[in-house]
A = this chain, B = another copy of it.
């Protein structure tokens, strides 16, 4: 578990004014990672760290004499087009770079001009998926989501008997993961109406979102070596936003007995910025279970996990229709929740994933599953918000939605905020549904 240290001090201010503004996602206490280049340029992508409305270019920084030791090694590893080498270095190196950047970005430092030369405005940057993702695993850690979805298929028995024992997960598709801004054609697939004799091939009519967090693995484990829960978090590099788009009509017809496939693998969108666990340390909250529920098996239990294995990350889903966009209107919030409601922690995800000896590798991505909260208005998917498409969501301009229409853009946002701590934000994760080809 990351302890609080000088980098978390909420009184810290940066010499970069934009980092000190109220509501800024990227103050000096955050320092998340991405890969970037100047938009439309032929530059190589390289790692960067967000500060205010700027990006610290790690490739440029590594060429200066501003860093030493582990921090310099981390900046060099972070200079590549993907962050896998940085992720593989482990927590000591990540923390050293964070501390060095925190000190260099503070008001009054002598090296301000040298660091300023390493800044690129976020307004001119474009991003790529931050790692070469070897494997993508999606979990199912919200008991509220599992119950809401289960009710639609099995009204009398919504939650399967294994749910409260097993952190359910399954493998997803890597090739179609894109970064914020991803636009994709509405997928076609086989669908069969309940009263139809035969299925037909057509564009999905039940295009949905899934509000998730993505967990990037840092250091891996060798095949055959389980990661004990006391070490699980040291294998986690950081967290991003993840929209696991889902075609519910395809899913309903195809998913038995081996799970979702074409209903999910046409696109998954992540935010460019990866927030480290160290930055999130002030927002740890206890992981608890209702007294009547089974407690986790010993391999999924630890004192640290109980004391602070959960995170209070505020989450919001926004929807912007074509009409709203053409009228110059912002997206409208359709759901708000927090990651604190998850039934399984990220340490439990890592430990369960490896208990059979499965090897995780630097850059692997774990999804939390849809993070629906306890009430329906906190649900992270339209199929829940609209109760299977029966109760449309009303938008401020009078439009309604059950599932997504062509041209709809969805934005996920995440942030941590509480008295006595600096805000830590995740930025935005945008994606747009285009007409079927």
Question: Could you tell me which A residues sit within 8 Å of B by CB distance?
Answer: 134-135, 137-138, 140, 150, 160, 162, 165-166, 168-176, 178, 184-185, 187-190, 192, 198-201, 223-226, 247, 250, 253-262, 265-267, 294, 297-299, 352-353, 355-361, 364, 437
Q: Is there contact, CB below 8 Å, between A265 and B165?
A: no
Whether the Cβ atoms of B185 and A357 lie closer than 8 Å is yes
CA–CA, A140 and B261, complex, Å: 12
The complex is assembled from copies of this chain, and their number is 2
List 9 extra interface pairs beyond A165-B190, A201-B297, CB under 8 A: A165-B192, A165-B199, A169-B258, A171-B173, A175-B359, A184-B223, A200-B297, A257-B259, A262-B358
In the complex, what residues of B have CB within 8 A of residue A247's CB?
356
Docked complex Cα distance between A223 and B267 (Å): 8
B residues within 8 A CB of A199? 162, 165-166, 297
- In the complex, A192→B166 CA distance in Å? 11
Contact of A258 among B135, B140, B226, B360 (CB under 8 A): B140
Q: Are A254 and B173 in contact (CB under 8 A)?
A: no
Closest-by-CB residue of B relative to A182 is B223
Q: Are A176 and B358 in contact, with the CB atoms below 8 A?
A: yes
Q: Across the interface, do B162 and A256 meet the contact criterion of CB distance under 8 Å?
A: yes
Given the complex of chains A and B, what is the CA–CA distance between A166 and B198 in angstroms?
11
- What residues of B have a CB within 8 angstroms of the CB of A134 in the complex? 174-175
Label chain A's interface by main secondary structure: loop
Q: Which residues of B contact A174 (CB under 8 A)?
A: 134-135, 174
Taking a contact as CB atoms under 8 Å apart, the answer to whether B188 and A226 are in contact is yes
A169, closest chain B residue (CB): B261
Contacts of A170 in B (CB 8 A): 170-171, 258-261
Name the B residues within 8 Å of A260 (CB-CB): 170, 258-259
In the bound complex, CA of A258 to CA of B139 (Å): 9
13 A–B contacts, CB within 8 A, in A order: A134-B174, A165-B192, A165-B199, A168-B258, A171-B261, A171-B265, A174-B174, A176-B357, A176-B358, A185-B357, A258-B260, A262-B353, A266-B357
Q: How far is the CA of A201 from the CA of B253 in the complex (A)?
A: 33
Complex partner residue of A173 from B135, B226, B266, CB under 8 angstroms: B135
Nearest chain B residue, comparing its CB with the CB of A170 = B258
| Contact call A254/B166, Cβ cutoff below 8 A | yes
Kindly state the separation between the CA atoms of A353 and B190 in the bound complex, as whole angstroms: 12
**Bound-state Cα–Cα, A254 to B224, Å:** 20
Instruction: Find out whether the CB atom of B257 lies under 8 angstroms from the CB atom of A160.
Output: yes
Q: Are B357 and A223 in contact (CB under 8 A)?
A: no
Q: Are B250 and A356 in contact (CB under 8 A)?
A: yes
Across-interface contacts of A299 in B (CB, < 8 A)? 201
**How far is A171 from B177 in the complex, measured between Cα atoms in Å?**
14
Q: How far is the CB of A271 from chain B (nearest CB, A)?
A: 19
Among B172, B178, B200, which residue has its beta carbon within 8 angstroms of that of A171?
A: B172
Q: Which residues of B contact A226 (CB under 8 A)?
A: 188, 437
CA distance A185 to B355 in the complex (A): 12
Q: Chain B residues near A162 (CB, 8 Å)?
A: 192, 199, 253-254, 256
| Distance (whole angstroms) from the CB of A414 to the closest CB of chain B | 24
